[in-house]
Amino acid sequence: MKESGVMKLILRMAVTAAGLLAALPVFAHHSGAAVFDTTKKLELKGVVTKMEWTNPHAHFYLEVKDADGTVTSWNLELASPSILLRNGWKRDSLKAGDVVTVDGSPAKDNSKFGIAQSIVFADGHKLNFLSAYEDLK
Amino acid sequence: MMADGTPDLSGVWLGSGSNDADIANPRGLKAGDSVVMLPWAEQLVKTRQSKDDPESNCLPAGIPRGSPYPWRFAQTPGIYFIVYEGNIHSWRQIFMDGRKHPADMIPSWYGHSIGHWEGKTLVVDTVGFNDKFWFDYKGHPHTEQLHTVERYTRTDLGNMTIEVTITDPGAYAKPFTTVGRARIMAGQDLMEYICQEDNFDLGHISGPAKGPGGAQ
């Protein structure tokens, strides 16, 4: 089936929103509620030590220093690389050395593991679990 | 339209033919249909644990369970392929050359699929399934008697309806038909999704099988 250039453009515009919305069932390969306690809030400030672009979930490690100087490394989960990349993330959007504040929810099993719902940088720009587009909730 | 006159299903599609949280959700069923399990199946669903979902263990979701990841039809003479980005990164083959299902098959995750066109609808008949995959996050089971008939109809450039009739006298009192749709993701390509490479969530899963949002 041949699509004209105009049709392609219209389709692209029309389905960008659909594509983002369709990415919303994010607990793609298991029930998120089976892992995380979404009734609890997590707020962590620290420095990223590693970004893992792996499946099924991209994730990153955040080193957090307590008031008393104790350093803890948290593993924080994101959507899959394919979903992130389709929604504006780039390879270097989040990388070792970035200083960020992460809001999310912790794992039910009390391990240093959580889901990162939003990531805010020192200059105010944001990423979230699904996308790099600030306005997408 | 393909060169041989059959409809063209090409494109990167997103969507599926059933509700992947709970296949019995009325919104994912043909009007008036219901899912009636045999007693052993009802009992099993109540006991299933989320960590045992094959899909969470990077194993195939079978038919008709979908995912939030796109897929493509590859239509070649005599054989079509559905190529899935995830979950998992795999494919099915649909024989279009008029063959029948073999008499003696080793049960498999995706079964043996033969297809034909009815007007603009691709009809895919599949048997030979194993009993291992779950129909949904909730854990609806099936047996090796499972027989599915999928109907794919491209209604316009960007939209496809998908209906799947499920017959499994080993687990369900009567056949039922799921309904769903797919939309085209214009300008997109499939990406890689190798589920097995870093499936660290598995060590943290607990609790009974239920839908992604937690609703049962």
CA nearest to A14 within chain B: B186
CB neighbour class for A99 (10 Å; exposed up to 12, middle 13-18, buried from 19): exposed
Q: Per the domain annotation, does B71 fall within a domain?
A: yes
Q: Do A15 and B53 touch (CB under 8 A)?
A: no
The contacts found for A56-61 with CB under 8 angstroms, 24 or more apart, are: A56/A28, A56/A29, A56/A80, A56/B58, A56/B86, A56/B87, A56/B193, A56/B195, A56/B198, A56/B199, A56/B201, A57/B198, A57/B200, A57/B201, A58/A84, A59/B198, A59/B200, A60/A94, A60/A116
What does pTM read for this prediction? 0.88
Token pair for residue B42? 């009802």
Token pair for residue B82? 């559905």
pLDDT at A137: 47
Q: Per the domain annotation, does B127 fall within a domain?
A: yes
CA nearest to A8 within chain B: B186
Domains in chain A (CATH in brackets) are 5-128 (2.40.50.140)
Q: Per the domain annotation, does B183 fall within a domain?
A: yes
Tell how strand A71-77 and strand A113-121 pair up: parallel
How far is Cα B81 from Cα B102, in angstroms, rounded to an integer?
19
Among B10, B68, B211, beta carbon nearest to A28: B68
Contact of A23 with B32, CB cutoff 8 Å: no
List the one residue out of B15, B9, B157, B154 whose CA is nearest residue A7.
Answer: B157
Among B50, B193, B194, beta carbon nearest to A30: B50
ipTM entry:
0.88
- In total, how many domains does chain B have? 1
| Domain housing B85 | 12-189
Tens of pLDDT along B126-159? Answer: 999 999 999 999 999 999 999 999 999 999 999 9
pLDDT at B1: 86
Tell how strand B176-184 and strand B121-127 pair up: unpaired
Q: Per the domain annotation, does B155 fall within a domain?
A: yes
Contact of B163 with B151, CB cutoff 8 Å: yes
How far is Cα B22 from Cα B44, in angstroms, rounded to an integer?
15
Q: Per the domain annotation, does B153 fall within a domain?
A: yes
A–B: how many Cβ contacts below 8 A? Answer: 142
Q: Per the domain annotation, does B208 fall within a domain?
A: no
Among A7, A31, A109, beta carbon nearest to B137: A31
DSSP A88: T
Residue type present at position B140 = H
CA nearest to B65 within chain A: A29
List the one residue out of A69, A54, A58, A60 whose CA is nearest residue A102.
Answer: A60
Using 70 as the pLDDT threshold, list the residues of chain A that sit under it: 1-31, 135-137
Token pair for residue B58? 């990077």
How far is Cα B181 from Cα A90, in angstroms, rounded to an integer?
30
Q: Do A35 and B201 touch (CB under 8 A)?
A: yes
Q: Per the domain annotation, does B216 fall within a domain?
A: no
Q: Do A113 and B199 touch (CB under 8 A)?
A: no
pLDDT at A27: 40
Q: Per the domain annotation, does B204 fall within a domain?
A: no
- Residues of chain A in contact with residue B55, where contact means CB-CB under 8 angstroms, are 29-30
Tell how strand A99-106 and strand A71-77 pair up: unpaired
Best A39, A55, A85 member to test B by mutation, with max B CBs in 10 Å, is A55
Using 70 as the pLDDT threshold, list the residues of chain B that sit under it: 211-216
- Residues of chain B in contact with residue A24, where contact means CB-CB under 8 angstroms, are 68
